[in-house]
Amino acid sequence: MHDWTHAAAELADLLEDRPALVLSGAGLSTDSGIPDYRGPDGTRRVTPMSHGEFVTSPVGRQRYWARSYAGWERFSAARPNDGHRAITTLQQAGRVGAIISQNVDGLHQAAGARDVIDLHGRLAEVVCLTCDARLERSAVQEWMATANPDFARTVALAPGGGSRVSAQIRPDGDVVLDDAAVAGFRAPRCPLCRGDALKPDVVFFGGSVPKVRVERCFALTDQARALLVVGSSLMVMSGLRFVKRAAAHGIPIAVLTKGPTRGDDLATLKIDAPITPVLSRLAGAVRPGAAPR
């Protein structure tokens, strides 16, 4: 077991004179109130929306948008935590370079980071699958509020006086609602083509990351002098492929996360420790132009 001081020192040694490419996952955002998909043992704790169901099922889209509408206020209110801010500090100090984020929350950018590739897209953006129109999520949220004026009251008042909405937001920004609450919800329609195929511009489970985005991330991996994985279990190939690529090129790999990952056998350094304290301690010891100690 690593204590935070020792863990930060180990990372500092690995990153000395080696600006790292960062690959971040859901574990980085848990301290901002956005839970990850998996428990400590790597088992998925929630069943997310799948790409196949969303694109083929109007009922699936209605359920997703109702749940997402109910959860958006809490999701969009999330703010960067000290871990996000530490990565920005490390970037400004030249200790890390570009960031490949598997998260859809935009918190790296909100913390002031640059050169962020949102591998799975961002929930703040919406695309029409029929006509390719692009919309801000805030505008779609306003449309849903107007089209469903009684929805907030409906989800707040379940039989017996309880709430129909779960207390915890899910990683996709939605919450759990019972079927009765979802049944009457009017899902958003595209303002240009009037189709009902509006989709948050994110990669749902079973979907594919755009090829050009993957190729850009591979290029960054090939050019990296080190790879720092933060808060990712690497359970899906979407992120694991970059770790495999780095290992094949002999690039040092540090993995900082709680619990096991699928990349542990490829890591030069594995640190099983709380993410935010380790990053904060590391960032607190650097200044622009100075080697981290």
Asked whether the beta carbons of 256 and 230 are under 8 A apart, the reply is yes
Write out 93-157 in H/E/C secondary structure.
Answer: CCCEEEEEECCCCCHHHHCCCCCEEECCEEEEEEEECCCCCEEEHHHHHHHHHHHCCCHHHHHHC
Cα separation, 262 vs 267, in Å, equals 10
Cα separation, 242 vs 222, in Å, equals 9
Of 51, 84, 120, 249, which is the active-site residue? 120
- Distance (Å) of CA 8 to CA 98, 228, 256: 20, 13, 10
Helix (H), strand (E) at residue 10: helix 4-15
Cα separation, 65 vs 223, in Å, equals 40
Identify the pLDDT of residue 162: 44
Identify the pLDDT of residue 216: 98
- Distance (Å) of CA 46 to CA 13, 57, 106, 172: 37, 20, 21, 10
All structural domains of the chain: 1-34+80-120+208-293 (3.40.50.1220), 44-77+123-202 (no CATH)
Determine whether the annotation assigns residue 193 to a binding site.
yes
Bridging pattern class, strands 198-202 and 269-272: unpaired
Determine whether the annotation assigns residue 217 to a binding site.
no
Q: How far apart are the first and last CA of the chain?
A: 20
Q: Hey, how many other C-beta atoms are within 10 angstroms of the C-beta on 43?
A: 10
Write out 167-199 in H/E/C secondary structure.
Answer: CCCCCCCCCCECHHHHHCCCCCCCCCCCCCCEE
Which residues share a beta bridge with 100? 23, 117
Please state whether the predicted TM-score (pTM) of the whole model is above 0.75: yes
Cα separation, 237 vs 254, in Å, equals 18
3-state secondary structure of 64: helix
Residue 269, Cβ density class (10 Å: 0-12 exposed, 13-18 middle, ≥19 buried): middle
Residue type, 254: A
Identify the pLDDT of residue 178: 76
51: annotated active-site residue: no
**Lookup result for tokens 């650097």:** 286
| φ/ψ of residue 99, rounded to 5 | -125, 125
CA 193 to the chain's CA centroid = 30
Identify the pLDDT of residue 227: 97
| φ/ψ of residue 127, rounded to 5 | -130, 145
Taking 70 as the pLDDT cut, the residues of the chain under it are 1-3, 36-47, 156-173, 287-293
Identify the pLDDT of residue 157: 44
Identify the pLDDT of residue 183: 87
Asked whether the beta carbons of 107 and 79 are under 8 A apart, the reply is yes
3-state secondary structure of 253: strand
Per DSSP, 31 falls in state G
